[in-house]
Amino acid sequence: MRPGFAFACGATDGVARRGTFTTPSAVVETPAFMPVGTLGTVKGLSPAEVEATGARLILANTYHLWLRPGAERVAARGGVKRFMAWPHALLTDSGGFQVFSLASANRVDDDGVTFKSHLDGARLRLTPEESMRVQGLLGADVAMLFDECPPADAARDVIERAMRRTSAWAARCLATPGPAAQARFGIVQGGTHVDLRLAHLDDIAALDVDGVALGGLSVGEPIVEMYRVLSEVAPRMPADRPRYLMGVGTPADLVTAIGHGVDLFDCVLPTRNARSGQALTWSGRVNLRQARHKDDDTALDPTCGCPTCATFSRAYLNHLVRAKEMLGPRLLTQHNLHFYGELTRAARAAIEHGEYARWAAATLARMRERDEVGPADPSARSPRTAAHAGRESE
């Protein structure tokens, strides 16, 4: 692992792990959730408010910052962390996800990807070398190696081609000079084919990478299939490096994946759902659009210590959401990210006490018991779709 970085596993319970990922900017207690700040901002919150949720590692997107405001402009202002005044660690996505999400506007070949900008239609070229150059300018603590993410329903030969490209691109990324204080994580593809996943894991883990990520999940496959893959692949990821599950997910996804040995997560779901009036709580989802909350003077979650729950009633939050006041999404975003922080803290404690399986079963049962499935709206779609359908616009 590169100087200034370290990973130590302090406790295990089955294959669940409680660890510490140290970077030059922060000590990240794992399992941990990374709030998504695609454009150099976690939507609706100040850096201090994000910090107060317990987050010490957040995610920004290479592709979007490359287009706007431009990597050179960000670098001239000290890198993305100084630009956005984030005092802790930051990871940048390589831009490879846009190979998948913007498929109708790109052309992929063995050398890289030609994009049609979603902003102005300009033709742009993103290669492994360019991705690493941009991530170097952005100054992230962790840079992801450029990969190709095939769709969930891709044929086996298409998935195998994406694996070969991802491996070749990973080698080119690692051969590209970068900042000394920047770790590099490799990405494992393979769809829902466990044999392909394990073969690609061997390829990526053999490289000089500081962490290993599972990509290409939560892109349309059934939830049960994702869990099956995780149960067979995650425990076999390198034990001496962080294990990162990209773009996942719901609270249930986190609880399940932690039980299979995953350390790091990111997803737009808590912030996006907040903008749709949906809160995530220990008792499941709460849809603040519903009329049942109009005269409810209780806290959103009486067991939650976040500023939203400590200050405002469900009735007031319902009013803000229905009136489309901007404070509503802000307060719900603050709560949702605080909840994700509490969820991962509780998971760490359960692992330390050797009670993870019992805690996970009780937590999942409690969340299902009072879950409010609201009327049709963007946040009510399958988490597999809702989580990823717009990471590029988060």
Q: Is 263 a catalytic residue?
A: no
Residue of 13, 93, 253, 263 marked catalytic = 93
Question: Which residues 6+ apart lie within 8 Å of 337 measured at CB?
Answer: 35, 42, 45, 50, 53, 55, 270, 271
Residue with tokens 């150059």: 133
Cis preceding linkage at 3, omega within 30: no
Q: Does the active-site annotation cover 93?
A: yes
Contacts of 233 (CB under 8 A, 6+ apart): 188, 194, 197, 198, 201, 214
- Sign of dihedral through CA atoms 366, 387, 241, 236? positive
368 exposure class (CB count in 10 Å sphere: 0-12, 13-18, 19+): exposed
Answer whether 280's CB lies under 8 Å from 273's CB: yes
Tell me the longest C-alpha to C-alpha distance in the chain. Answer: 61
Rounded CA gap, 168 and 384, in Å?
28
Active-site entry in 13, 147, 263, 266: 266
Q: Which residues are catalytic?
A: 93, 266
